[in-house]
Structure 1
Amino acid sequence: MDTYKHIKDLHIKERQSIRKIAKISGLSRQTIRKILYGSVEETTRYKRKTPAPSPLKDQYAPILREWLLENQNAPAKQRYTASRLYERLTEEHGFTGGESTVRRWVREIKQELNLERIEAFIPLEHDPVGNAQCDWTPATIRINGEDVNGEVFLLRFSHSRAFYVRFYPHQRQEAFLDAHEHSFAFFGGVPPRILYDNLKTAVKRVLVGRQRDEQDVFIKFRAHHGFDSDFCNPAKGNEKGGVEGLARYVKWHLFTPVPDFPSIDALNAWLEERCRLLNSRPRGKEKVSFMERFETERDALLALSSHTFDCCARKEVKVNRFCLVQFDRNQYSVPVEYTGRVVTVKGYVHEIRIYHQQTLIATHTRCYTHGQQRFEIQHYLKLLERKPRAVSQAKPVRQAKLPEPFANYHAAVRRMEPEQGDRDFVHILLLLRRYPIHRIADALTEAMRQSTLSPHDVERLADELEKTSSMIPAPKISTAPPTEKRSTPQVAPTQLNRYAQLAQGTVSA
């Protein structure tokens, strides 16, 4: 570079001729002309016109080329990397060079074979017509200090970029539909068209082009709200890039650090408030928020339905001999009188409802730990009345986690007479049909204190406690200023003989 500058100075500043510069510098006149009239890159960098000999590459390049061509027919996630090709060369062909050398060869061969195609994209500008994009993204939260893995539902409008997010334990169909209901309520309307990828909760089968064989429940849900669906091409998530970018944004701004809440409902209430805050934040050079842009497309939304769609998974099952029904690899109890009958189980996100001929017969909190049994003690009271000896080992009684007075009473009556003690305890459990559990616990505590262990005495105490708690409260004392006392007018007593005389007409009124 110093020689380049020196020659330029001689020619421009000192006005020396090319012949004179060549004599001073010792370079040929052809080289001087190239420096004076050529580009800097051409004159300061050496370029090899023919590739340098590489006998080692000539030996292994045909093998790499064959493997890379075979690689095109392999599944997308099971194709060779340069690191794996290096391992095969060392293990199968005794290659002793470095991994960086193989990486360079692989890069050059891919360029020769045009295997490394970089896809280009067209920038898009969406009209304010209310269309939206939908997706899921995994996330981890903490419920009462314990890590819970789940899925975050994302819905974003294409034009305004206003968004809504909600956390669920899974992305099954009941959660998928429930999330839509909450997002529609959040924005006060329904997007006329929503873009999805080919998720199983919406698509049974991918057909030719953009056509899809959709799930029956999803078709009913769309018909209920009146919106249309559109789907990306397989493995083309970039077609809904707005919501894909939202997934990264949400993890940075809502799930970092990991949120810790007492329940999922509390988390979702907080997420909803955060969505309102972030949607209202001014952005860009124009300082326009997502919600301000959303107002330009609000009129394009469809009106909310007056009826809420039943967002659940349905299953017809038969009640087994233990008064249990199977749903989602867990078992839930029903009243004993429905043993052997076919019932309808509706699985909601956080609740299980069991119906018999459209009559609700049982409700349980949904369990997501597989292989569990969920009992309701009142479902088994009739059975315990017939089989009182089973009460000590009955799983419904143990899972009910009754207050301590129940166990104390049962132990006391069994000490007196074991068989009769079980019957007496079952009689106490039957009181759950009439009184709340805390009222019976108070009655048992009082009965133990008075040493009156008869079930009838406990029932009497529970009834007294219930009447005491339901007494009419004392009337409120008036805060109005006192008024002056006035004398009460004296009224003469009624004379009944006067009515008789009037009736006979002997006296006038």
Structure 2
Amino acid sequence: GKDAKTVRKYLKQEDFSPRPQESQVRPSRLDPYKALIDSWLEDDKKNWYKQRHTSQRIYNRLVEQYPAFDCSYPTVVRYVRQYRNENQPGKGFQELVWHPGEAQVDFGEADFMECQCLVRKKYLTVSFPYSNDSFSQVFGGETAECVCQGLQDIFNYIGGVPSLLIFDNATGVGRRVGDKISEAKLFSQFRAHYSFGIRFCNPRSGNEKGNVENKVGFTRRNLFVPLQTYEDIETFNRDLLAQHKSKAEKLHYKKLVPIHELFQADQEALHPLPAHPFNVCRYESYIADAYGKVCLDERHHYASCPEYGGKPVLVGLRAHTVEILTKDLTVLTCYKRKYGSQRTDHTDYRTTLATLMRNLGAWPNSGIREQLPESLRQVLDEQSREDLRRSLGSLERLCQTYDLDTAISALDERMKLNRARFDDITILAARIQGYGLNRAQEKGPDLKTYDQLLKGDRHACNTEDA
């Protein structure tokens, strides 16, 4: 049953319209101290955010300064939380409108198994907020070369250039300080080549590119779990672009239309690709040390030629490689580019052979000697100076056509047979590179008839034909 007073109350009530609930303010033992707490919190606004009152500090001060204070710590915590909720401005965001052909760009990082070694790499993600589609490419760092190479690969894959790119203020392409925007030189040239607009986010304003930040996390969770394994990063990047097709089959989270259908509008709004591809390479001149090595990023050392010691060396910096150039701008040698804080040293021993032939006294302690198999090393150690010079000369000439491993293998095999003529070594090097040493020779045509013709035995030829 119902209480009689409740029944009489609703019988007399004429308006049953819903009303908002009124908050009831109940008296608290903390009331005498609230004005003081408010003043402390108000003064905190003038101080560094890391040096302001916490709820614990407020409680401790009240206990120390007022012996009659008898409130519990949770009571103080509830009031401080209430004060901050009511007096601090809310962190609301404006919902932005994105048009087809506009894209956002950002970097993420993830672990990979590269050549069976665990490494942490960066990956560039380009997302299209209109369709919610995105594409990623993996790199060693966040340099301008990495950004330009990643954008170029993605532009080529999607068949066009976005009209506008939104960048984080901390990427390697440049930054905005106040109203002034400074771009990296290589990126400025890249942007002029592809003719797209750019905009940099405000500092600490990730909401201005929230779509790509979500896609960075989505890519790491869905494409890089479990850890991806690869031998060549450029091949992996080409395969990675194709992997985005499967996620484009999903529905847009708000428009409820397949992403790949919405992306068609993005593609229609793209600018056409330029007639000529952009050479994504930054050329810098470095002074080589006494050994002919140049130092990049203060920790990564790459060898040119010993002859270049103490001289300026032109270096081509690409996203994945470092090229050492000669005076006539031909590539002397090329290394895989290294990133990170650990010191690295890289030497192409092919470039040291010419100097070594002029200074055979350095042979016992040379780096190229350490690269040779024991059998070849022993043979060369026992050679006379002139024979050693000829053997190293053969190796140098082979390296102009073949890689160092192939040249060493060919020289080693021929030395075992005491056939050190350069022509014999060259033929074997061609076989190693084309077929390998252990592959059986293919059976060719029977040339016996031609041998008999050359000997004048026409009768034997006619008999075999019959």
C-alpha change, 1:139 and 1:73, in structure 2 (3 Å) is farther
**Please, which of 51, 54, 67 is the counterpart of residue 30 of structure 2?**
54
Q: In the alignment, is residue 134 of structure 1 matched against residue 94 of structure 2?
A: no
Structure 1 equivalent of residue 167 of structure 2: 196
Structure 1 equivalent of residue 420 of structure 2: 459
Counterparts of 1:421 and 1:148, CA distance in 2: 46
Identity of aligned residues (%): 23
C-alpha change, 1:186 and 1:286, in structure 2 (3 Å) is same
Q: How far does the alpha carbon of each residue in 1:209-249 deviate from its partner, in whole angstroms, 9 at most, with x for none?
A: xx523333322211110111122222111112221221222
8 Å CA contact 1:318, 1:341 repeated in 2: yes
**Please, which of 3, 13, 16 is the counterpart of residue 6 of structure 1?**
3
Letter matched to residue 397 of structure 2: R
Q: In the alignment, is residue 275 of structure 1 matched against residue 275 of structure 2?
A: no
Letter matched to residue 391 of structure 2: I
Unaligned runs of 5+ in 2: 432-440, 447-466
Shift of 1:360: 2.7
Letter matched to residue 464 of structure 1: D
**Please, which of 324, 335, 353 is the counterpart of residue 305 of structure 2?**
335
**Please, which of 365, 370, 392 is the counterpart of residue 429 of structure 1?**
392
Counterparts of 2:22 and 2:246, CA distance in 1: 59
8 Å CA contact 1:376, 1:396 repeated in 2: no
Counterparts of 2:217 and 2:373, CA distance in 1: 47
What SS is found at the alignment partner of 1:304? coil
Shift of 1:67: 5.1
Q: How far does the alpha carbon of each residue in 1:399-453 deviate from its partner, in whole angstroms, 9 at most, with x for none?
A: xx33343334345x2xxxxxx66775454333222335445535534544x6xxx
Q: How does 1:69-148 map to 2 (within 5 A)?
A: 69-71=43-45, 73-74=47-48, 78=50, 80=52, 82=54, 85-86=55-56, 90=60, 100-111=74-85, 114-115=87-88, 117-128=89-100, 130-148=101-119
8 Å CA contact 1:173, 1:312 repeated in 2: no
8 Å CA contact 1:405, 1:441 repeated in 2: no
Shift of 1:322: 1.0
Q: How far does the alpha carbon of each residue in 1:225-279 deviate from its partner, in whole angstroms, 9 at most, with x for none?
A: 0111122222111112221221222222112233233343343233212112212
C-alpha change, 1:205 and 1:359, in structure 2 (3 Å) is same
Structure 2 equivalent of residue 482 of structure 1: none
TM-score normalized with structure 2 length:
0.77
Shift of 1:282: 4.4
TM-score normalized with structure 1 length:
0.72
Q: In the alignment, is residue 227 of structure 1 matched against residue 196 of structure 2?
A: yes
Counterparts of 1:35 and 1:72, CA distance in 2: 56
Q: Comparing 192-201 with 468-477, which one deviates more in the overlay? A: 468-477
Shift of 1:68: 5.8
8 Å CA contact 1:391, 1:426 repeated in 2: no
Counterparts of 2:168 and 2:414, CA distance in 1: 63
Shift of 1:102: 4.1
Shift of 1:47: 7.3
8 Å CA contact 1:443, 1:458 repeated in 2: no
Unaligned runs of 5+ in 1: 12-17, 19-31, 414-419, 451-456, 478-509
Q: In the alignment, is residue 248 of structure 1 matched against residue 217 of structure 2?
A: yes
Counterparts of 2:113 and 2:53, CA distance in 1: 37
Letter matched to residue 270 of structure 2: L
**Please, which of 441, 454, 459 is the counterpart of residue 409 of structure 2?**
441
Q: In the alignment, is residue 393 of structure 1 matched against residue 365 of structure 2?
A: yes
Q: How does 1:109-508 map to 2 (within 5 A)?
A: 109-111=83-85, 114-115=87-88, 117-128=89-100, 130-208=101-179, 212-283=181-252, 288-328=257-297, 329-357=299-327, 358-368=329-339, 370-395=342-367, 397-398=369-370, 401-410=371-380, 413=382, 424-425=387-388, 427-435=390-398, 436=402, 437-438=405-406, 440-445=408-413, 447-448=415-416, 457-460=418-421, 463-464=423-424, 466-467=426-427
C-alpha change, 1:157 and 1:428, in structure 2 (3 Å) is same
What SS is found at the alignment partner of 2:135? strand
What SS is found at the alignment partner of 2:130? coil
* Structure possessing the higher relative contact order (Cα contacts under 8 Å, 6 or more residues apart): 2
Letter matched to residue 375 of structure 1: T
